[in-house]
Amino acid sequence: MTSPNQTFRVLNGAGRAPLVLLCDHASHAVPPELGDLGLSQEQITRHIGWDIGAAALTEKLSQALDAPALLAGYSRLVTDNNRAPDDPTLICEISDGVLVPGNRNLSPAERQRRIDAYFTPYHAAVTAAIDAALQRCALPAILSIHSFTPSMKGRQRPWHAGILWNQDGRLALPLIQALREEAGLVVGDNEPYSGRSQAGFSIREHGERRGLPHVLVEVRQDLISDEAGVAEWAVRLERCFRRILAESGVAVLAA
């Protein structure tokens, strides 16, 4: 299901799993009323516009785990759905060295209009999906899917995946352990970003605030930039997540 103004998509809304998947940076689309934000198509389809591979990975996991998924419909440059509404980086004027002309010198009224039009409907849909999951399970898990660039500001990032969390390690700690047991993987604990920073807004808002088990998974973009990579990581994360939920007793997934 797609929202009337495409601010979000719902996949497998009737999924039976005690789990909700989130993808805050699923799309590089820009609403028609904002034009192209002053950027070329090449620029906006780079990592500054979305999390490459994250939507495809979320879709695969939604099918494999029989879990509902919420995917943002517009670019993170319109509003970054993984930032708090009062965060200055909610609407970036510059991203990884690229000026975003359409985001410069926004009036307070225009900033609020964007929040009301694009940010709020997505998070309201996430809340509704979690409310529905609470009817199926006393303690549904929240799994947020992101991706990160192989290098940033001239520095190579050695991690294949990173697990972000703040205070609740019920899912994060066993997931880090499970992934580190996979041959050849370098797994970051709150790397290359930290769930204790602004990068953890969604899991804190929808997981921590409601007392629900949650975790944010970052996969390096070059590993999920094609169908084969997405399929490989979907199988890996499905296997790890089923094991963790079963062993932790947090929730039970249907076989």
Closest CA to 26 of 83, 65, 66, 70: 70
Q: Cβ-count burial of 147 within 10 angstroms (0-12 exposed, 13-18 middle, 19+ buried)?
A: buried
Report pLDDT for 65. 95
Mean pLDDT of all residues in 52-57 = 98
Residue with tokens 């009737």, as numbered in its chain: 14
Report pLDDT for 4. 64
Checking if the pLDDT of 224 tops 60, the result is yes
- Cis (ω within 30 of 0) for the bond into 192? yes
Closest CA to 47 of 96, 103, 91: 96
Query: At 162, phi and psi to the nearest 5?
Result: -130, 145
- Interatomic CA distance for residues 229 and 222, integer angstroms: 8
Domain boundaries of the chain, sorted by first residue: 8-248
- Burial readout 182-192 (b: 16 or more C-beta within 10 A, e: otherwise): eeeeebbbbbb
Closest CA to 68 of 124, 167, 1, 118: 1
Residue with tokens 């953890």, as numbered in its chain: 200
Checking if the pLDDT of 253 tops 70, the result is no
pLDDT digits (tens, 9 = 90+) for 146-191: 999 999 877 899 999 999 999 999 999 999 999 999 999 999 999 9
Segment (H or E) for 141: strand 141-148
Record: fold of 8-248: Aminopeptidase (3.40.630)
- Interatomic CA distance for residues 250 and 3, integer angstroms: 31
pLDDT digits (tens, 9 = 90+) for 81-140: 999 999 999 999 999 999 999 999 999 999 999 999 999 999 999 999 999 999 988 899
Report pLDDT for 154. 79
Report pLDDT for 197. 87
Checking if the pLDDT of 251 tops 80, the result is no
